[in-house]
Amino acid sequence: MGCGSAHLRLYSGLFQAMRAALLIQRWYRQYVARLEMRRRCTWHIFQSIEYAGEQDQIKFTRVYCLCLSGNLISHIFRENEICRDIEWERYFCYKNIEVPELYSGPHLSFPLTVSNVADLVEAFKNKQQLHTRYVLQLLLESWKLLRMLPNINQVSTCQTKEITICGDLHGHLEDLLLVFYKNGMPSVEKSYVFNGDFVDRGKDSIEILLILFAFMLLYPNNVHLNRGNHEDYIVNLRYGFTKEVLGKYRLHGKKILKLLQKIFSWLPLATVIDQKVLILHGGISDTTDLNIIAQADRHKVKSTSFLLVNGRMDNSLQRHCSLAYNSPLRSRYNFQSRSMQNFSSKVNLAVEEELKEQRRMAGLSQSYHDLRSSLSSDSDSDNYETYEDDSNEWKQVIIVDMLWSDPMPQDGCIPNEVRGGGCYWGPDVTEKVLRRHNLQLLIRSHECKQEGYEFCHNRKVLTIFSASNYYEVGSNRGAYIRLGPDLVPHFIQYQANRSTRELTLRQSVGETERSALRALREQLFAHKSDLLYAFQDYDTDNTGWISLKHWATAVEAVLRLGLPWRVLRSQLVTTTQDGMLDYQGWLRELPITEPKTESHVTLSIEQLFGWVTLILWKNSLMNSHHSLIGLISFEEFRQTWKLLSSHLKMEISDEAILDMAVSIDFNKDGSIDINEFMEAFRLVDRTMNLPSEPNHTKTDE
């Protein structure tokens, strides 16, 4: 009897222990699930804001390219596009630039040596700056080499045991240095493929380019660079690279940017390893054909953004018949070409009428026809991407797909409306393209992944992303791939920021979530005026109150981020009364009290106006009779701002514009030069708490 009682107590104890273990297990699973839900929601916020920014980039480029007959952006870097390469080489000549004795940075000799490149990497690691003479010389040699390379590089693992593949770096020099530390520097025994998007967003883009170009010159058979969608001078205007170069190299910044524009257009489009693995930046489409890509004049595509906003390249028409992707390429293109021409003529007519009205409202006497004539009088056929025939034009459509497209889980090929360019392609398209070219794997980048890499399409498409902490510290890992003769990818993940490795999962999710919500509030703050109008549409009685349902609907209608606003409502709306929101009070509470100094995922209205003003100022500079001395008059400044404000339906008085011009005119000579404008823009930029320039020793001039 006693024995049975003991067994009963034992079994009872075991039952209680198992029950407790199951309860703990269930609680832990729920806890992890909640953390994962928060992490995914945070990720969705960051990604939606990023893609919305890319849509805005296309929209703003469309406004300026169409409204100003395509001349606006192209004139920014323009000197004389009709020049031949030999004349451009004379223009970029560095020999008359002297290196002062006080210069303490790295010195380069050409042809480059291993010690030269090692010194360069070490100097950048120590925050030193390369002198302008060496920058131009290094870029000029890189341009000469790139012009000799094919559109698609062929690489073999027979020459080296492994090939390392890196994805987007986006100006994150610490990530590149960490890859070199963990994996070794490029050499004859260690080949690398860098898959585009070297610049923008981060603060060390020019340093990354110079390091990669130096290694490419040193080991041309072992270091391969593919072009990304951010190797684009129009995109660089928005995402920071143009500003970085002009800030670090003030005297020769424009010449460096012009040379980089040419270099970007000559970057190869893809790399193939052992004729089995295709590496390109964005992706493919239902019309991708490597044989056609190999024949394209890639250097004619100065900017894919320009192609996207050109009438020929409207996305919805470009892929109008994408569901019938088995149809012949020629018939599909013929249909699209006719559609593009019809669309282009309609859009240009509508824009012309709209701009006439806006110029009338802005009080400008010059007609749109006169404006077009004055701008087109010195137009450049090369920058407008005017193509010799339909075949060349279609080849460049395919290039856009290669740089901008993303995979999707469903079959088919549809316009990439989220980014505003390229397409979404499905597993069936992957299978078709790989089978057509006897390939077994497609490696691409272009998308930030939380773990640094991700498979899709039955493990036949692999995304690799090498910029860790891309959205915020702790938001994602970076990764790179090692590919041996067996062509089986091996992944190495990392976090460049040491502090993130010390955080628990809960702390990491919490930090990233707070950063995402802060970025979202910045987006809301940047759209305050539009939000107020949207809220007032639901407040027909002018009570100042709307329902939370209407709040969520209005916010999505304005921001168009596709976020679960009802889920986020508790994080964004703190005070309600009986399910109603005082929207005016909520808007007043939106200003950010403690802005992050390292946030780069959003631009406020003030910052955006700063960039737009910079673009328009350069356009006026290049087209004015003052271009030789680099000045812009107050009247040119006024006309530019009146035109812009009328288009954006924002009132700004002549007095306010004059006050702005006078405040920028530091030497009080009645005109504005580039140094005055850049200094004013730098001061505004600092007050808006954008990332500040690193403390470099000013030794370049």
Q: Which of 131, 230, 252, 281 is catalytic?
A: 230
Please tell me what DSSP assigns to residue 313. Answer: G
Q: List, as one string, the DSSP characters of 638-695.
A: HHHHHHHHHHTT----HHHHHHHHHHH-TT-SSEEEHHHHHHHHHHHHHHTTPPPPP-
Q: Distance between CA 164 and CA 491 in Å, rounded?
A: 10
Q: Cα angle at 413 between 408 and 415, to 5 degrees?
A: 90
The answer for residues whose C-beta is within 8 angstroms of residue 340's C-beta and 6 or more apart is 311, 312, 313, 314, 317, 318
**Residue 314 and residue 296 in contact, taking contact as beta carbons nearer than 8 Å:** no
Q: Distance between CA 196 and CA 405 in Å, rounded?
A: 14
Please name which of 175, 105, 183, 162 lies closest in space to residue 138, comparing C-alpha atoms.
Answer: 105
Please tell me what DSSP assigns to residue 410. Answer: S
**Residue 269 and residue 399 in contact, taking contact as beta carbons nearer than 8 Å:** yes
Sign of CA dihedral 224, 226, 232, 235: negative
Find tokens 């403390």 and name the residue. Answer: 695
Helix (H, G, I), strand (E, B) or coil at 224: strand
Which amino acid, 595? P
Q: Catalytic residue at 527?
A: no
CA atoms within 13 A on the CB side of 470: 29
In the sheet that holds 423-425, the strands lie side by side as 406-407, 423-425, 413-415
Within 10 angstroms of residue 35's Cβ, the number of other Cβ atoms is 16
Active site residues: 230
